């Protein structure tokens, strides 16, 4: 399997849109991997996770090809993860296709019920389902569904409960591989721990929320300390082992370290660090 990270910042971006703090100034000056856009990732060129306003930038700068995407998994409706207004541009006239509109395969958007409002509204208002642009399906925590060769299981995130946030466990049945994509979340809910343990899954790759970096928050998000605690527990219950790759992702300037500084700290603790455009195979 493969994961491509397109956007690796927390909601304000890194550097923050309007921010003059020291880490943001440093990131601007150094550029490159220190510049992070809002949250988006792709599994195996097939399953797109989240759709921020920065999606267009990911198309331009990192070769994200939305014409190949048929499945979109939404973690939650915070706007650094979901900007459905751009769905409009998959309508005929704004977009032309290599098949007739009647034969077009709609992009299926999966989200929790509570994160679906803006998605369903735009699909209804612009008749996106009728013209085969987009369709919405409910993703329920602990209720697996199949897309092609993938078994996808949404789990409960420890994050803003108003959005009914989800993290995703994705298993490629053909390859016998599995990834856990855990953004945005604190150190997981008991319900999620129970599910992972009972499922008997063994992850090959785990992407962990690291919004707070060297600081740490209790709940809602994690830092490096949270990542270490989650890794330890995943190994303890047999859901990960020494071969599992752990990658930190979704960073805020409030966590103080820019990418170049963080990679050194993370390497000592055996964590990969995501950056915009990073690709990892496992």
In the complex, which residues of this chain contact Zn ion (CB under 5 A)?
A: 16, 19, 21, 24, 78, 80, 184, 253
Query: In angstroms, what is the minimal distance from the CB of 137 to Zn ion?
Result: 21
What b/e sequence results for 229-257 when a residue is b if at least 16 CB atoms lie within 10 Å of its CB, and e otherwise? ebbebbeeeebbeeebbbbbbbbbbbbbb
Q: Phi, psi at residue 36, to the nearest 5°?
A: -125, 135
What SS3 class is residue 132? coil
Please state the closest distance from residue 24 (CB atom) to Zn ion, in A: 3
Whose Cβ is closer to Zn ion: residue 49's or residue 239's? Answer: 49
> CB neighbours of 199 closer than 8 A, spacing ≥ 6?
153, 169
- Closer of 80 and 158 to Zn ion (Cβ): 80
Nearer residue to Zn ion within complex by CB, 119 or 128: 119
Q: What is the DSSP letter of 186?
A: S
Residue 91 CB, shortest distance to Zn ion, in Å, is 28
CB of 139 to Zn ion, least distance (A): 16
User: Which helix H or strand E contains 56, and what residues bound it?
Assistant: helix 55-62
Q: How far is the CB of 226 from Zn ion (least distance, A)?
A: 15
Q: Would you say 234 or 256 has its CB closer to Zn ion?
A: 256
For Zn ion, which is the closer residue by CB, 78 or 245?
A: 78
Task: Report residue 245 as tokens.
Answer: 């790759």
């Amino acid at each position: 399997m493969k994961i491509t990270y397109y956007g690796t910042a927390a909601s304000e971006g890194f550097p923050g849109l309007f921010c003059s703090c020291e880490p943001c100034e440093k990131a601007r000056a150094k550029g490159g991997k220190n510049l992070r856009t809002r949250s988006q990732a792709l599994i195996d060129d097939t399953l797109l996770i989240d759709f921020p306003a920065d999606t267009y930038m990911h198309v331009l700068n990192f070769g994200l090809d939305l014409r190949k995407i048929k499945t979109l998994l939404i973690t939650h409706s915070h706007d650094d993860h979901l900007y459905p207004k751009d769905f409009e541009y998959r309508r005929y006239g704004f977009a032309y296709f290599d098949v007739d509109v009647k034969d077009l395969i709609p992009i299926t958007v999966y989200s929790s019920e509570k994160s679906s409002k803006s998605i369903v509204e735009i699909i209804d208002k612009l008749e996106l389902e009728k013209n085969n642009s987009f369709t919405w399906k409910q993703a329920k925590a602990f209720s697996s569904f199949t897309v092609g060769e993938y078994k996808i299981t949404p789990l409960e995130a420890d994050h803003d409960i108003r959005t009914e946030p989800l993290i995703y466990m994705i298993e490629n049945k053909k390859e016998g591989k599995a990834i856990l994509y855990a953004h945005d979340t604190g150190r997981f809910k008991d319900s999620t721990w129970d599910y992972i343990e009972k499922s008997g899954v063994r992850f090959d790759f785990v992407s962990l929320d690291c919004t707070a970096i060297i600081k740490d928050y209790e709940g809602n998000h994690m830092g490096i300390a949270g990542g270490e605690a989650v890794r330890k527990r995943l190994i303890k219950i047999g859901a990960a082992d020494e071969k599992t790759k752990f990658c930190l992702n979704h960073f805020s300037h409030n966590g103080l370290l820019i990418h170049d500084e963080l990679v050194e700290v993370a390497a000592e603790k055996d964590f990969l660090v995501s950056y915009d455009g990073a690709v990892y195979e496992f």
